[in-house]
Amino acid sequence: MVVATPTPLLRRGNNKKKPAAFGVPIIDLSDDKSIASEMIVKACEDYGFFKVVNHGVPKKVIARMEREAADFFSRPVSEKGRAGPAAPFGYGSKNIGFNGDKGDLEYVLLEANPLSLTQRAKSFSNDPSTFSSVTNDYLSGVRKLSCDILELVAEGLWIEDNSIFSKLISNSHNDSCFRVNHYPPFIAPNNDEDELNNNHWDLSSNPSKSKVGFGEHTDPQILTILRSNDVSGLQIYTHDGFWIPVPPDPNEFFVFVGDSFQALTNGRFTSVRHRVVSINSWKSRMSMMYFAAPPLDAWISAPPQINNVITSNIYRPFKWGDFKQIVYSLRLADSRLDYFKNHTQS
């Protein structure tokens, strides 16, 4: 079942609001598979973004992970700093990547495999075994969720082998990672709550009354599974030029199409551009992202069933490891897939 959650559409830049509403696609994974798969494909085509309910990840697993993350971020800066600097894994603050991007946040980035987590746990917790256990339980849940979604996508695309995408993630050598972002509270000057809530989407309208938590970008992996607390700030950018504030939902997961999935579907799906903007809140925002990625030596190439529908190949085949190198060499907002387009495309 798909339920519309009305949200105002907000035009990019200095243009005025359009009097319309957007419904975040909501996919009920307890629905019949044929219905869910059809709805997921449509959401990936239209927005590259949707929310899933009845996802199967136990609430206690989510709550334990959130407590571990909140405990780490509540510590003194000097103590957190021992888990950094992020290069790229570890604890980071303000700096995003290696090419000058910055944001109003602190974060933890970890490799999503048990061995790496065990090795790094001592840097993040006074109880490393509990931290490893809790994090592995959470990652196991969201990895399964990712695979379930990818298999539904394959079914919705009428691909006979419904594991064609999910096996890239279930592979023991997958390059998936886990990130937790923590954004400090932001109170607008003069505490002008109404004005901030009306204009936080438009960073050019009054820079003093909004802060960029995490600048606009797409995710390079196949899928991103995001869970946040109840503080707003996430926005997605639609194909027709609107920034859409996404209401937070701490009980469910949001799913983003990544650049690699765009290539795997030969452009049928589009990776969604998104950002986080700090809004008027006395409470900090915390979000947890599982980035589902294939092994470094895996080839990213659309299967024949998709290329039979879309006659020309938009992207040349590439290895995930090669694409990852390009990602690390560019700025956050750059379009990385442009480097892998076929020159025959007009």
* Rg of the chain taking only CA atoms, in angstroms: 20
Q: Among 285, 316, 331, 336, which one carries the catalytic annotation?
A: 285
Residue 285 is a catalytic residue: yes
The H-or-E segment that residue 109 falls in is strand 101-111
Compute CA distances 139 → 22, 143, 178, 194, 329, whole Å. Answer: 31, 6, 8, 38, 28
On whether the CB atoms of residues 265 and 306 are closer than 8 A, the answer is yes
Which residues make beta-bridge pairs with 254? 51, 226
Task: Scan for tokens 């927005």, then name that residue.
Answer: 47
The structure tokens listed for 23 are 């419904």
Q: CA-based angle 151:155:156, to the nearest 5?
A: 115
Sequence-distant (6+) residues with CB within 8 A of 109 are: 86, 88, 89, 90, 92, 177, 178, 179
Query: Nearest to residue 175, comparing CAs of 137, 143, 135?
Result: 143
SS3 assignment, position 232: coil
Instruction: List residues with catalytic annotation.
Output: 285
